[in-house]
Copies of this chain bind each other. A is one copy, B any other.
């Protein structure tokens, strides 16, 4: 919400200004931010130019093409992720840094999808990964273990992430033309049971669903605890 609709500012349209406006526009456009599957996205070169009170072509003075614009937006967002305090032990330092990344990516909900759509990592992403790796290494983990651990932190184990749940809470699932109305409890009894259990102990969560922050920390700590144990046992990939 920084400089939302300041259409005709007098400033001479630097690359900085273009990127900052692009991030603001993507934040404002509720959707996926940059050509996700939905057409009602709202983010485009032409739209961005309009927001800046400028002819579309003018953007190409500061950015080679849309790909480079997206790279710049990613770098700007990922650059917001904080570095860990130097004093802490590796476990809480990693924890702190990953939670910082989470909160930044929650503020720019288009960002995770755009990052994954890039053909290669941008400098800020490399710096972030380098920083997390450094925290593990400084904590005494071997390069070998650190390597596998980084993959573990970056894996989508189910094959995709579970944001569908959150979306599914508001939007009912589409029904196949043959199938009848959704009676979810009947079709997916196990899933319904879980959903009910989640809604039951929803004291902590303000909204209807479950406490996403708790779920995230649960997963993170599960992995960090496992990593700590492997580290103490002197795990090596030779033991595979």
- A residues near B (Cβ < 8 Å) are 15, 32, 34-39, 66-68, 70-71, 75, 98, 101-102, 104-105, 112-123, 125-127, 129-134, 137, 143-144, 146-148, 150-165, 167-168, 171-177, 179, 184, 187-191, 193-194, 196-198, 201, 210, 214-216, 218-220, 222-223, 225-227, 230, 237, 240
Contact = CB atoms under 8 A, between A and B. Distances in A.
10 contacts: A37-B114, A38-B119, A115-B159, A120-B172, A123-B173, A144-B197, A147-B194, A152-B219, A154-B162, A155-B161
B155 A215 contact: yes
Contacts of A122: 173-174
Number of copies: 2
A173 B38 contact: no
B223 A222 contact: yes
Contact of A121 (B125, B134, B151, B164): B164
B157 A219 contact: yes
Contact of A36 (B117, B151, B162, B179): B117
Contacts of A144: 197, 201
A196 B143 CA distance: 9
A121 B67 contact: no
Contacts of A210: 147, 151
A221 to B, nearest CB: 9
Contacts of A201: 144, 237
Contacts of A162: 150-151, 153-155
